[in-house]
Amino acid sequence: MKIRASLNFDVNYTKFAAGIYVAIRQAIILIITLTISLRFKNEFTNLNSSGFDSSNIIFMFICGLVCFKDQFFAQIQFGRSKETAVVSSLINIAILAMLISIVDFIIGWFYAAAFSGELFSNFRSLFFQNYSGKLTFGVSLLNLLWNFFYLAFIGSIGYLIALINYKLPKKIRLLIWLGIPVLLIIINTRLIFMRGGLDFLTNFYGFTKSIFGLPFNSVGNPIKIYLTGTLFFAFNGLVSLLLINKTPIKD
């Protein structure tokens, strides 16, 4: 397997987009923090920073999609086998997940260590909240690993979905991508009525999260997260490899 050039190409192709994304994300967090700290002087414990965590998930998912849509075909053009292209893309996704996790780790730890979370404000600002769980080196390291595993997993899902989408005939593709959301809405609505109210929705969400190695509530078992994250990443990679084997390159 001649993977060096493939990996080099993959990393170079995504590094610019990843750099811009990380820069914008950190800038937004900083601007919001500064704005809040200049405007308000009370505590804002009800502020939620999960949107910023979600942005990482969305970014990695899109990266997974693009890795297949653009980079896979380029590698085929440049004389690599489909298997090498898939392996290279998956390693690239893992590298990207690690880079984003490291950036979060460095900023969070540096911020916490250097300024005790009170550089811009003397209250629990959004910036503080975003890194509230990373106040010590140990906790930050734990967060880094957690970020890495679930981001790599999300990226590999994006890749697999793009691959499945490519393999499907147009009519079936339309049917599936329209049918699945409709089916989920119907099932969800029925479940809500059957189990009595929206409480179940929260539980269902927590349950789904725990299946994928994410914590049911705010605290998760890190070993379980790392293990399931790795297993799901490996599973997605294996399925991708199996699916690509006989897939013809279309126009």
CB neighbour class for 194 (10 Å; exposed up to 12, middle 13-18, buried from 19): exposed
Residue 77 in the binding site for other proteins (CB under 8 A): yes
Task: Pick the closer one to other proteins by CB: 51 or 79.
Answer: 79
- Please report, in angstroms and rounded to a whole number, the separation of the first and last CA atoms in the chain: 26
Asked whether the beta carbons of 226 and 145 are under 8 A apart, the reply is yes
Q: b/e string for 114-149 if b means 16 or more Cβ within 10 A? A: eeebeebbebbbbbbbbbebbbeeebbebbbbbbbb
Residue 79 in the binding site for other proteins (CB under 8 A): yes
Residue 249 in the binding site for other proteins (CB under 8 A): yes
Name which position in 59, 80, 158, 236 contacts other proteins (CB under 8 A): 80
In angstroms, what is the minimal distance from the CB of 74 to other proteins? 4
CA–CA separation, 85 vs 66, rounded Å? Answer: 13
In angstroms, what is the minimal distance from the CB of 241 to other proteins? 11
Asked whether the beta carbons of 93 and 64 are under 8 A apart, the reply is yes
- Interface with other proteins by CB under 8 A: which range of 78-86, 172-180, 194-202, 211-219? 78-86
CA–CA separation, 86 vs 63, rounded Å? Answer: 14
Q: What are phi and psi for residue 132, nearest 5 degrees?
A: -65, -30
3-state secondary structure of 246: coil
Task: Pick the closer one to other proteins by CB: 105 or 159.
Answer: 159
Task: Pick the closer one to other proteins by CB: 19 or 79.
Answer: 79
- Interface with other proteins by CB under 8 A: which range of 54-62, 73-81, 151-159, 231-239? 73-81
Name which position in 43, 83, 118, 199 contacts other proteins (CB under 8 A): 83
Residue 91 in the binding site for other proteins (CB under 8 A): no
In angstroms, what is the minimal distance from the CB of 9 to other proteins? 6
Judged by the rule CB under 8 A, the positions of this chain that interact with other proteins are 1-2, 5-6, 8-9, 13, 70-71, 73-74, 76-84, 245-246, 248-251
